[in-house]
Amino acid sequence: MSFVRSLIFADIDAERDRQENIGVNKRTQGIDWRSCADPEMEGGDWVRNAVLGEEVGEVSNALLEKVYGGSLDNSHLRDELIQVAAVAVAWVEYLDS
């Protein structure tokens, strides 16, 4: 595996941890929030698909901002792509559990 790919996978892993920590924090506040890896996510695969679609929409939005906003910085687009990958990984974690 290339060094660059290992850095990308590390970022995806960090995003997965962030997603799970959001859930822990929200549940301590009494909010029933679950990641796409959680087998008890209400709505199941339909909701997982909606979450993934929402993240893909954010990639589209970041791309539009880049193209029409004149931004030369790819960092926002990259962040959104990492989030898409992390949600997909979470869904696979659920399927494999």
Q: What is the pLDDT of residues 34-46, one digit of tens each?
A: 999 999 999 999 9
Average pLDDT for the chain:
94
Q: Which residue has the tokens 């009494």?
A: 30
- The residue range of the domain holding 38 is 3-96
Please state, in angstroms and rounded to a whole number, the distance separating the CA atoms of residues 55 and 60. 9
Q: What is the pLDDT of residues 75-97, one digit of tens each?
A: 999 999 999 999 999 999 999 99
Q: Is 33 left (phi over 0), alpha (psi -120 to 50) or beta?
A: beta
Say how many domains are in the chain. Answer: 1
Please state, in angstroms and rounded to a whole number, the distance separating the CA atoms of residues 22 and 18. 6
Q: If residue 48 lies in a helix (H) or strand (E), which one and from where to where?
A: helix 44-69
Residue 44 confidence (pLDDT): 96
pTM: 0.91
Please state, in angstroms and rounded to a whole number, the distance separating the CA atoms of residues 63 and 37. 27
